[in-house]
Chain A
Amino acid sequence: MAFDEVRYEQEVIRPMRGKHGRISDNDLVRVYAYEPGTSADALQAHLRKLRTYWNQRASGPDNRARVCKQLLAADEELRRRLGAQLNDPAWWERLAQKTAQAAQESIKQLADDLVRAYGAIGQVTREQLAVVAERYPALKQPDVDEACRQAAIQVVDTVELPQQSGLDRVAYRELRDKLRELGALTIVHLLHPGLDRPFTLVRGFSVPGGPALALSPEVLRERRSAAEKEADSSSVRARKRALGVLDSGLKQGADLPTVALFQVVELCAAERAKGIADVLLVRLAADLGLAPEDARLLVASLPTGVDVASNDAAEVRVLLADGQLRAAQQALAALPDSDPERAAVEQAVQRQLDELRRLAQGAETALRERREEEAERLLREAVRIAADDRDLAARLNRLPPPPPRDAALVATGTQVRVSWRPPNTALPDLRYLVIRVEGRAPTGPDDGTRVGETAATSVTEPSVVAAREVHYGVFAAASGGTWSRPALVVGRVVPPVGDVRLRTRADEIAASWHAHPDLVAVRVCRQRSRPPADVRDGLAVPSGRTSFVDREIDEGAEYFYGVVAVYHDERHREVAAPMTVVSASPRAAGQPVEGLTAVPEESFDGGVARVRLTWPVRFAQVRIRSAPELPGWAPGKVVPVADMERYGQEVVGAQVADGDLMVLDADVPLGPRVYVPFTLGGTGAVVGRGVELGLTEPVGQLRARRTGTRAVLTWVWPADVRLAEVAWAVPGTATDVRRVSRAQYVDGDGCVVKVGPAGGTATVRGVSIGPTGESLSPPASVTVSGSAVRLAYTVKRPPGFRDRLSRRRVVEVRTDQDCADVDLTIVVAPGLAMPVRVEPGMTSFAFTRLRFTREVPMLLSFEVSAAIRRPYWIRCFVVRPATVTLVDPPVANMKVA
């Protein structure tokens, strides 16, 4: 019998750790590691080794020492009681038999215990079994397994259930609420509404014997998409929200099956915490939809030691953290007094209530002390603690905002503009009310004249009482809230005269202006050549309320007038407005220029041309302006100089007197333009009579190529010219004038004219078309020589049967016009190629000084030598004059093949 320390520690020492009480006789065989059949010597040796081991371990530092000490004590007692029997193998054999019988009874007893404890659910976890089996230390693992078999209890391995959902706490709570609102038992039912079969969740989602469903993000998205298409209702909204919470959670890393399992676990754990028996918990899980096996496994795996009190307390804490103080109070009320955490939670709630009270009182105090910003800040803090306190929210909404900041008043003429900056508040949708009171500040939004209510930060009052102290109050309020205290601004508006207009003649200056209705007088002073410093600086000019006329002036001098409006204040004291200064120079009105002429000078360079403008020298101060179109003013109209300068461009150049004329030579743009003279005089410019002149660049490189009776005219088009006027002048006939567009020119391969014997002259001008009409460029001309007199001929056999068979031939010549002194040669040339000229050695027949009459054929007879073999050609040539040409007949007529 060999003693195995390792095995002994594992099977005997370790199970005895933490156990108290004496070792029973039925446990001796195991404690002494006795094996049946051991001899006496072997038994003694075994006991010696065993005790040695106990002694060695009893002095050790670990918990084996305590066990060994216990065993040594028990051994000492046993030796004292039994004496030598302890070394007798027979005694140990009897003890072993007795122990085996006791084990059978223990197995039965354990089986009974298991049936009582776990028979209802039919399963026990391995951990639970170990705890129960500890009560039967004499039983070995096979005995325990036998007890389970006898009890028909299944031993299962527990699974680790999720402690958290993986969702944000608030989100999970909202999900739970929405499921409750929907009547969905679990998240599984939310995602698979039609599921009517049990499912598993603990080790993964499946529907045993059912369809292949899944808890996946794809399913969630499908459900969301389907929910979006459903008609709107409260339940659909709740479903969409629940699905949305899940979707957001998944995007943040949550696992859908874990969330679903946690929900079931949470429900079951809460019930267990209430002391519900496991069998009922299994039923609860099954009612939630879990398959029986899964339900049992879940209940078996539920964590122990969780009680409802801790969950409710946590709920209160969560509510406090979420700023739901009133809900936390209600949750606290439902917390049983026995809850161990009640005191702590109650304390936390009370702290928040105290803080809320402090903030509310502080806000009241700040409001009384006109510290609206502070009151708003405190109330907002209070709302953050108790967001579910409707009274508190209403108080915040009713809170008047602080008054607007930096109110200012600006008077412009008779208008007053009141502006301000928004108050320092977080209240949304502010609007402002502006109230005006004369002589004192407005006290409330109803105290005074209502100037305007706006969401902007300024209002303009078109007219106010002049020279009076006016107080403006600007009140602010949030939408639906009360008006704030006013932001005050005070001012006194003393408007000057406005829109002063002067009419100047050589002998008088008249002025008029717009005056405020409250104006009582206007004082005018005049200075020569400089502005007056104030109303007493210079000569006083009598004035009415809205105008004056000054005739004591010298023509050509410059006068400055200071115009001051005078008002009465509340005590009828005079109040002077700021002085308005205007100036004028009396001079005679200009006369409209008549007789302007514009003559082009043929110089075109870089898109500009030169023009000479002349007008009578008697007109002084004349400006010439040019534009593509006529001005909108009739001649003689007096227009402000500024308006004149907006018309066209001034023709720049030196104006030189040349006898009775003023001459201006200038470069001007190409194309049709209008030149308008303006005479400066009086208070403006007088429009003169304009002239139109179009300047167009001429065409370049005009050429003509005559072929026969036609000539092709070609030229180079200037860049901006798209149209040309072609005049074809033939002596003795009317000139043919036609317009040729650039596209026609390109398509028609140039411009073709018909050429007669007299020839002709082609003149081409570029044409520019503008708003005032068209202009022609300077002409380009080319002369085309006349076409030659055309003689047409045919080769014939002579008439008559006999001559028809002879080698005689007749050339019949016709002409389109009369001609004389024509020398003709008829060539008979053998060969394939047509003769191109009369050459020595050729067979030829000369006819001289012929005179042709139009349309009268002339017959020229000759005989072809018999020596000439086919093929040969018969062709006529004009020897002279050069102005006559021949038109060949068809090849078949000339060629004898």
Chain B
Amino acid sequence: MRKVSCPYCYHKVDGHRLWYQCAGRGSPGKKQCEAEKDADRARETGFSEGVRPSFGIQTRSPFWPARATCPRCGGETGIRVCPRCHTPVSANFGATRSPLIAMVGAKGTGKTVYLNVLARELLHGLRRRFDADVRLSGTGQRAAVTEKLAIDNVFADLRLMAHTATALNGRRPPAVFEWRREQPRIAGIRRGYRTTFLSFYDTAGEDLTSQDQTHDLVYLGAADALILLLDPFMIPRAHSLLRLPQEAVRSEESTVDVVNRVTEKLRASHGIRSRRRIKIPVAVVFAKIDAYFDVLGADHPLVRPAPANGAYDEAAGQATHEQVRALLYDWGADDIDAHLRYNYAKFRYFAVSSLGAPPDYATGDVDRGGVRPFRVDEPLLWLLSGFKVVPSRGRP
């Protein structure tokens, strides 16, 4: 039995026993199934539109066939759905382990912008760099994909997105990417292809501003990895280095408090005792580093572009980690590092910039010279290398 996390409802399901959804074909003598509201899907994902019924099959085989016959209308179907939330998944889903990567961060840290820019990197830069087939995975509903991301807003219209609305019971459609590439050959022997589903959930920053709402973020419990986005503007000494407009800082909350709430949620959802550290890898990402380009200087290691080749550069990542840690200590934010060290078994710091230049925080306009993402892909590559989805090299 292969347990994978459903990218839509975050439940662990048997990847070899995905359910089927009726294709509505019918059969001689039987009327085709009509679309109707699926109570399970509505409960698990909040999706309340009409869909055709989902069903499992009775068989002792651990591997269910690719196609099955609808018990109601007798029509054959090959549409696979999650057994729990009945959301259609790709035919490739379930065959291999697919990490569910959660993204959290306090209000105003730029999660939505980061997710959109990261999505574009996945679809363009990383796809080419790793010779992979990457695409947004839909849920079988039209416009579902286009609604999730607003890449054009940033890159074409040069406009920031509006604040993400607060999730109701954690029910906002995640952005799911299908990453498919050839497995590394062994002794020249082709080992086939591996498809990995990456599910990103764009959390509204407000969801983390209180302990109660943090507990409502059900997806954290199912996360295999975490991208924790932090805003350096919320670190007082780092803030004081810059002349920022009032609109640039949207939260006065302590960064370590935000991190602490996430820690508590992870401990609660993963059932980790207090004397043990959290096992899932956490990429601690300091966004908006473009604001510090001039402060750090043109030759600072953090402002140099990351090596871009067909593997994650572990040595460069380690160097970045130490450089950011050094900055935290320098900015007097070593409490963050201490909290992370004592609560997480595996974490790494990153410094990224989604836009490459500070936007006009008052008007929401991106720099007219264009969007130039800076090292936004490194956190994801580090996590993916940990899941063996992408290779890594240069281990320290």
A885 to B296 Cα, complex, angstroms: 13
* B323: interface (CB < 8 Å): yes
Contact call A835/B326, Cβ cutoff below 8 A: yes
Decide if B298 touches A834 in the complex (CB within 8 Å): no
Judge if A405 is at the interface, Cβ distance under 8 Å.
no
Q: Does A706 contact B (CB under 8 A)?
A: yes
Taking CB atoms, residues of chain A closer than 8 Å to B293 are: 705, 707
- Contact A707-B334, Cβ < 8 Å, known A716-B369, A891-B396: no
A722 at the interface (CB under 8 A from B): no
Residues of chain A lying within 8 A (CB to CB) of residue B301: 888
- Among B298, B325, B337, chain A packs the most CB atoms within 10 A around the CB of B298
Residues of A within 8 A of B304 (CB): 707-708
- Closest residue of chain A to B315, judged by CB? A890
Cα of A158 to Cα of B374 in the assembled complex, Å: 104
**Interface: B167 (CB within 8 A):** no
| Interface assignment of A833: CB less than 8 Å from any CB of chain B | yes
Q: Using Cβ atoms and an 8 Å threshold, which residues of chain A touch B155? A: 746
What residues of B have a CB within 8 angstroms of the CB of A831 in the complex?
A: 329
Query: C-beta contact mask, A693-729 vs B, less than 8 Å → 1, else 0?
Result: 0000000110101111010101110000000000000
Check if A273 is an interface residue, CB within 8 A of chain B.
no
Counting CB contacts under 8 A, is B46 at the interface? no
A708 and B368 contacting across the interface, CB-CB below 8 Å: no
Q: How far is the CA of A703 from the CA of B372 in the complex (A)?
A: 13
Chain A residue at smallest Cβ distance from B290:
A705
B298 touching A707, Cβ below 8 Å: yes
Contact indicator per residue, chain B 292-309, by CB within 8 Å of chain A (1) or not (0): 010000110101110000
Counting CB contacts under 8 A, is A750 at the interface? yes
A832 on interface, CB distance cutoff 8 Å: yes
Residues of A close to B334: CB separation below 8 A:
833
A296 at the interface (CB under 8 A from B): no
Q: B interface, by DSSP: helix, strand, loop or mixed?
A: helix
Q: 8 Å CB contacts to B: which residues of A712-754?
A: 712, 714-716, 745-747, 749-750
Q: Say if the beta carbon of A90 comes within 8 Å of chain B.
A: no
| B370 adjacent to A890 (CB under 8 Å) | no
| Contact with A703, one of B319, B327, B369, B374 (Cβ below 8 angstroms) | B369
Give A814-849 as 1s and 0s: 1 = Cβ < 8 Å from B's Cβ atoms.
000000000000000001111110000000000000
B residues less than 8 Å from A710 (CB atoms): 305
Within 8 A of A (CB), among B350-378: 356-357, 367-374
What's the Cα separation between A307 and B369 when bound, in Å?
107
B95 within 8 A of A: no
**CB within 8 Å of B: which A145-184 residues:** none
Contact-size category for B = 35 or more
- Give the interface size bracket for A toward B: 20 to 34
Residue A805 interfacial (CB < 8 Å):
no
Does residue A788 face the partner (Cβ distance < 8 Å to B)? yes
- CA A701 to CA B367, docked complex, whole Å: 10
Residue A226 at the chain B interface, CB threshold 8 Å: no
What per-residue 1/0 map shows which CB atoms of A2-43 lie under 8 Å from chain B?
Answer: 000000000000000000000000000000000000000000
Q: Which residues of A contact B299 (CB under 8 A)?
A: 707-708, 787-788, 885
- A788 CA to B299 CA, complexed, in Å: 8
CB distance from A215 to the nearest CB of B (A): 32
The reply to whether B370 and A714 form a contact with Cβ atoms under 8 Å apart is: yes
B318 at the interface (CB under 8 A from A): yes
- The winner among B301, B304, B370 for most chain A CB atoms within 10 A is B370
Residue of B nearest to A889 (CB): B319
Would you call A892 an interface residue if the criterion is a C-beta within 8 Å of the partner chain's C-beta atoms? yes
List, in ascending order, chain A residues with CB within 8 A of B373's CB: 749
Complex Cα distance, B352 from A673, in Å, reads: 46
Q: A707-B298, A892-B396 are in contact. Are A836 and B372 (CB under 8 A)?
A: no
- A890, B298: Cβ atoms under 8 Å? no
Q: Which of A750, A835, A890 contacts B369 (CB 8 A)?
A: A750
Please tell me if the beta carbons of A706 and B369 are within 8 angstroms of each other in the complex.
Answer: no
Residues of B with C-beta under 8 A to A836: 326-327, 330
A 521-538 to B, binary, CB cutoff 8 A, 1 in contact else 0: 000000000000000000
Contact assessment for A706 and B298 in the assembled complex, using a CB-CB cutoff below 8 Å: yes
User: Is there a chain A Cβ closer than 8 Å to B124's Cβ?
Assistant: yes
A834:B124 contact, CB within 8 angstroms: no
A895 interfacial contact with B, CB 8 Å? yes
The residue on A at minimum CB distance from B124 is A747
Contact among B124, B322, B357 for A891, CB-based, below 8 A: B322
Q: Which residues of chain B come closer than 8 Å to A895, judged between CB atoms?
A: 322
**Which residue on chain A has the smallest CB distance to residue B326?**
A834
Q: Which residues of B contact A703 (CB under 8 A)?
A: 369
**Chain B contacts of A885 at CB under 8 A?**
299
The answer to whether B369 touches A891, judged by C-beta atoms less than 8 angstroms apart, is no
Contact A749 B298 (CB under 8 A): no
Is the pair B325, A890 in contact by a Cβ cutoff of 8 Å? no
Distance between Cα atoms of A480 and B334 in the complex (Å): 111
A557 CB, nearest partner CB in chain B, Å: 64
Q: Which chain A positions have C-beta within 8 A of B145? A: none
Chain B contacts of A707 at CB under 8 A? 293, 298-299, 303-305
Query: How many Å lie between the Cα of A747 and that of B371 in the bound state?
Result: 9
CB distance from B285 to the nearest CB of A (A): 18
A890 touches B318 (CB 8 A): yes
In chain A, what residue has the closest Cβ to B394? Answer: A890
In the bound assembly, the distance between CA atoms of A653 and B319 in angstroms comes to: 66
Is there contact, CB below 8 Å, between A708 and B322?
no
Cα distance A45–B298 in the bound complex, in angstroms = 150
Q: Would A833 and B328 be within 8 Å (CB), given that A747-B124, A891-B315 are in contact?
A: yes
B368-A701 in contact (CB<8A): yes
Chain B residue nearest in CB terms to A703: B369
CB distance from B371 to the nearest CB of A (A): 8
Q: Is the CB of A890 within 8 A of B337?
A: no
Give the nearest-CB partner of A699 in chain B.
B369
Q: In the complex, which residue of chain A has the Cβ closest to the Cβ of B303?
A: A707
Chain B residues positioned under 8 Å from A834 (CB to CB): 322-323, 325-326
Q: How far is the CB of B375 from chain A (nearest CB, A)?
A: 11
Residues of B within 8 A of A890 (CB): 315, 318-319, 396
**How many whole Å from A718's CB to the nearest CB in chain B?**
11
* Whole-angstrom distance between the Cβ of B321 and the nearest chain A Cβ: 8
> In the bound complex, how far is the Cα of B328 from the Cα of A568, in angstroms?
115
Q: Nearest B residue to A749 by beta-carbon distance? A: B372
How many angstroms from the CA of A835 to the CA of B293 in the assembled complex?
19
A–B Cβ pairs within 8 angstroms, 22 of them: A707-B303, A707-B305, A708-B303, A714-B372, A716-B368, A716-B369, A749-B356, A749-B371, A749-B372, A749-B374, A750-B369, A832-B329, A833-B328, A834-B326, A836-B326, A836-B327, A836-B330, A888-B319, A890-B315, A890-B396, A891-B396, A892-B318
Given A749-B374, A832-B341, A890-B396, 8 new contacts (CB under 8 A): A707-B305, A708-B305, A746-B370, A750-B356, A834-B322, A836-B327, A885-B299, A891-B396
Binding site for B on A (CB under 8 A): 700-701, 703, 705-708, 710, 712, 714-716, 745-747, 749-750, 787-788, 831-836, 885, 888, 890-892, 895
The interface of chain B, by Cβ under 8 A from chain A, is 124, 155, 293, 298-299, 301, 303-305, 315, 318-319, 321-323, 325-330, 334, 337, 341, 356-357, 367-374, 396
Q: Which 6 A-B pairs have the closest CB atoms?
A: A714-B369, A749-B372, A833-B329, A834-B326, A885-B299, A716-B368
